[in-house]
Structure 1
């Protein structure tokens, strides 16, 4: 399956993301498309890898079986339509930051993740 299909480019994932936002593709279609690569093949561009993870997750529901996308109303989805738009805008901004200085981008993302984990530890009283 994905072994024979080259990973998508940033333009490819952006086009799929826009198609989802515009209503030209369903969440389930996007999930199935992204699933070809998520966890199956190495992706050399970390921004494409990140986009595929987002797209793969937009079909998640909060119903009885949240790990399996189903044909349901938007109210049942874990991520709202607005969440999808905002995630796309953040991803585009992150692509620009990454392209400007990949090492700085990685350092800042790592520091933000560490700060988040520290806040979680403090809130739970385990740190």
Structure 2
């Protein structure tokens, strides 16, 4: 029997936000990771805060159009990271 997939930790999710902002991972890499994780956890019980963050990270590489700026700029990503940190302390 195959076990239920394990959701990422809050620290791992936070690291993905940080990786986008410091350039250690591309937006495309983080988007693919978040999308894959969400698909694998479709029927799993997942922490609401982690699920919210995965939703933010999935699609993080979207642009206004070909060669255009990202739909969500670094300032918005910083805002999501700040909100994630607040959610981690408020919702346990």
TM-score by length of 2: 0.82
Residue-by-residue CA offset, 1:58-107 (whole Å, 9 max, x unaligned):
1111115xxxxxxx5xx5211011110111001111221112xxxxxxxx
**1:62 aligned to which of 39, 61, 64:** 64
Shift of 1:6: 2.7
**What RMSD in Å do the two structures reach over aligned CA positions?**
2.0
| Structure with bigger RCO (C-alpha 8 Å, 6+ apart) | 2
Shift of 1:5: 5.2
2:34–2:54: 8 Å Cα contact kept in structure 1? Answer: yes
TM-score by length of 1: 0.61
Q: Which runs of 5+ in 2 are unaligned?
A: none
Structure 1 or 2: more helix by fraction? 1
Matches within 5 A, 1:1-127: 6-41=6-41, 42-63=44-65, 72=67, 76-99=69-92
Shift of 1:53: 0.7
Q: Which runs of 5+ in 1 are unaligned?
A: 65-71, 100-127
Displacement over 4 Å in runs of 4+: none
